[in-house]
Chains A and B, each alone.
Chain A
Amino acid sequence: MLYIQHLTKRYGEKKAVDDLSLHIAPGEIYGFIGHNGAGKTTTLKAVVGILPFEEGEITINGTPIKADPLTCKRQLAYIPDNPDLYDYMTGSKYLNFIADIFGVGAEERQERIRKYADLFELTDDLAQPIAAYSHGMKQKLAIISAWLHQPRLIIMDEPFVGLDPKAAHTLKGMMREVCDQGGAIFFSTHVLEVAEKLCDKVAIIKGGRLIRAGTMEEVKGDDSLEEVFLELEGE
């Protein structure tokens, strides 16, 4: 589904991501962990085609993001760490705008908006301007918009920040459902307990370099993910 091969991204002289390679297969929930400034967001932004990169290649279902970004973007959805949405739109207008861009039909979009807005208890607020939303409500709206066109690959940066426990539980269920249907999810998180319980595979990044990746069992063995992470960070 997603191949990242020898990805290197520089900001001036500094390498934010250094020769990173990962493969996320269909059906996998892939966690991406690392300390602040390790290069997680940079990697995710490069994957979704927001950030240009100097070296390496990223392909989505065989299509290189650099050569054909539109084909790649049609297959994926992205939720950033801080959901700065269009404050001047209402929630419903925003969802319809995203649906228009992805060419989602009227009936399908209505059905999905109804389903996910009800799941996140956001239906009553859809007529409100996004400017009046709390951080958590914006996050819920960003999640609904990401799910609207039924993407094959979902990229999320800290998706659980700002969500209440019920919404976080709902999101976990939705993530599993996507993967059970052959999709894939690549997301960053600082909540190691969530990563440990939810992810099929995990990658740990430090100073822009991948220091460990594999199935959860391969990465943590008999220890907890937190212990392994702290040990690797201390090295």
Chain B
Amino acid sequence: MLKTLLKKQLLELNRSFFYDAKKNTARSKASSILLIVLYALLMVGVIGGMFTFMAIGLCQPLVEMGMGWLYYALIILIAVFLGVFGSVFNTYSSLYKAKDNDLLLSLPVPVGDILVVRLTGVYLMGLMFSAVVMVPAVVVYLTVAPGAGAVIGGVVLTLLVSVFVLELSCVLGWVVAKISTRIRHKSIITVLLSLGFLALYYYVYFNAYQLLGSIMTNADQLGRSIRGWGYPLYLMGRGAMGEVVPLLVVLAVVGLLLAVIYRVLSRSFLKMATAADKTVKAKYQEKVVRVRSVRRALLGRETGRYLASPTYMLNCSLGTLFLLIMAVLALLKGRDVFLMLGAVFAGGEDFVAVLTALMLCMIASMNDITAPSVSLEGKSLWIAQSLPVKPWHVLRAKLELHLLLTEIPLLLCAVCVAAVSGVKPLEAVLLVVTPVVFTLFSAALGLFLNLKRPNLTWTNEAAPVKQSLSVLMAMLGGWALAIALGAGYYFLMDRVSGAVFLLAAVALMLAAALVLLHWLRTSGARIYAQL
């Protein structure tokens, strides 16, 4: 029985490798293998690779100082952090809100077995994240201090860390679920938390060298400190090195914790899995309504869609945030940067102006709001199609949202940059106009691509936002255009001035944008009406 259920759970977890939701068919063997290989490359090669470099930097010196346990303690800390971050937000729904809960509970299956299966799913999810830290760290350790004990310790700790992640995820997942039913503006909070995590990630990434140096310099003090506030980490570190007693103690404690959590959860599982959601119900109060024009109503609809989805906001409008940050940085440090650039490219002020304009274009092209906007209509497309509005007007609202969220911060940023750049007045104007026209083009391009490659049959909005060809092509297309313009200027800089080049680029992009806009009004609108 348990084996059958586990098989089902594994199949469910790995469903996307074997089933194409877009085409509603099974993937071919070759395509499944390719996907698995690509995924493994991403996890092991890219994310794991990053942690390998970190492990290499830490391991040898700490082992030589006789503090191998501190190396593992730091690695375990990161693995637990990443594992919990990766699984905590899904734990509650994986445990209690699985779609097949009612089906399984109606079958002659012991509740304990269902819980084991659900916990296995959460465990594997945590393992996936923590293993990309642990596995390279163990391998690096074995190259520095090989030994049978270290192999056993490393493997056991890798598996145990994920059990610990599971335990933390169960407790924190429950807390997150309880809090999330009581807060409003969840999507904004999710975006802020994600941006915070992103900022922390970049801070650590850009300061890794100093952080490693600081750990090495203060290894003794850090070790004493960890032994004080994080004694379990100390034991885990020693266990991972292959020391038997600490390993057994960790094994016993983690096992005991798991038994307690299993017992508590199995007692409450049925009640939790069948409980109705106690969300805070907003009370309806009749207010004086403001009648909006069709244009504003359609824009309001697009804005509502955008603000309701952290996935959409985070993946398709990071450019807005970066443009605002750039505007502030330009005012604070811009003058020094332009003085330095002026010194580096002495006599090539034109080059600086063109380079700056194209850099602004590249930042603006991080916004791909229009690229998944048609796909995001999904199954509710019938509403817009059956309402008395021109299809072009629906498409125009999508363009307007993109332009509002990109052009306003872009103008702010470009004006700040132009003000401190010290370039000639005409070039300063072009420095602003070029990315503005570029944004018009990229908004139209995103919509064009999405109308050509829509995906309306998604079950999770991450599919059209993260995995769609139109988003990828819109982003790469924007970058490619900026790079092509840069390359063009490089070859022409002896013959034309920066201002003339930027004027030509503006004219070219404006013409392309107008062609795309005409297509959207005619063929695009027809395609949208018949999707």
Contacts and interface: CB of A to CB of B under 8 A. Distances in A.
A74 B292 contact: no
B264 interface: no
Nearest to A90: B282
B309 interface: yes
A88 B308 contact: yes
A102 B388 contact: yes
A71 B388 CA distance: 7
A70 B387 CA distance: 8
A85 interface: yes
Interface in B265-296: 277, 279, 281-286, 288-294, 296
Nearest to B282: A127
Interface stretch (A19-27, A93-101, A212-220): A93-101
Nearest to A142: B383
B284 A100 contact: no
Interface stretch (A10-18, A44-52, A166-174, A195-203): A44-52
A48 B284 CA distance: 32
B465 to A, nearest CB: 14
Interface residues of B, number: 37
Contacts of B281: 127-128
A49 B386 contact: yes
A128 B282 contact: yes
A92 B293 CA distance: 17
Contacts of A78: 382, 386
Contact of A86 (B284, B290, B301, B529): B301
A49 B383 CA distance: 11
Contacts of A93: 304
B37 to A, nearest CB: 36
B300 interface: yes
Interface stretch (A118-126, A178-186, A224-232): A118-126
A114 to B, nearest CB: 7
A68 to B, nearest CB: 10
Of the listed residues A93, A97, A100, the one surrounded by the most CB atoms of chain B closer than 10 A to its CB is: A100
A35 interface: no
A70 B390 contact: yes
Interface in A126-148: 126-128, 132
Given A106-B291, A110-B289, A127-B285, A97 B380 contact: no
Interface residues of A, number: 42
B382 A84 contact: yes
B388 A74 contact: yes
Contacts of B309: 88
B346 to A, nearest CB: 54
Contact of A101 (B282, B284, B297): B297
A73 interface: yes
Contacts of A109: 289
Nearest to B300: A97
A192 interface: no
A38 interface: no
Given A100-B297, A101-B294, A109-B289, A73 B284 contact: no
B379 interface: yes
A10 to B, nearest CB: 14
B515 interface: no
B352 to A, nearest CB: 44
A80 interface: yes
B389 interface: yes
A45 to B, nearest CB: 8
B305 interface: yes
A96 B290 CA distance: 9
Contacts of A90: 282
Contacts of A89: 301, 304
A132 B154 CA distance: 46
B378 interface: yes
A100 B292 contact: yes
A103 B291 CA distance: 8
Given A74-B388, A101-B387, A80 B382 contact: yes
B94 interface: no
Given A97-B300, A101-B294, A110 B286 contact: yes
B304 A123 contact: no
B60 interface: no
B530 interface: yes
Contacts of A50: 382, 385-386
Nearest to B309: A88
Interface of A: 48-50, 52, 69-71, 73-74, 78, 80, 82, 84-93, 96-103, 105-106, 109-110, 114, 123-128, 132
Given A100-B296, A101-B388, 12 more contacts: A48-B386, A50-B382, A70-B388, A73-B388, A84-B380, A86-B380, A88-B304, A97-B300, A100-B300, A110-B289, A127-B285, A132-B277
18 contacts: A50-B385, A73-B388, A82-B379, A84-B379, A84-B380, A84-B382, A86-B383, A88-B309, A89-B304, A90-B282, A98-B387, A100-B291, A100-B293, A100-B294, A101-B387, A101-B388, A106-B288, A127-B283
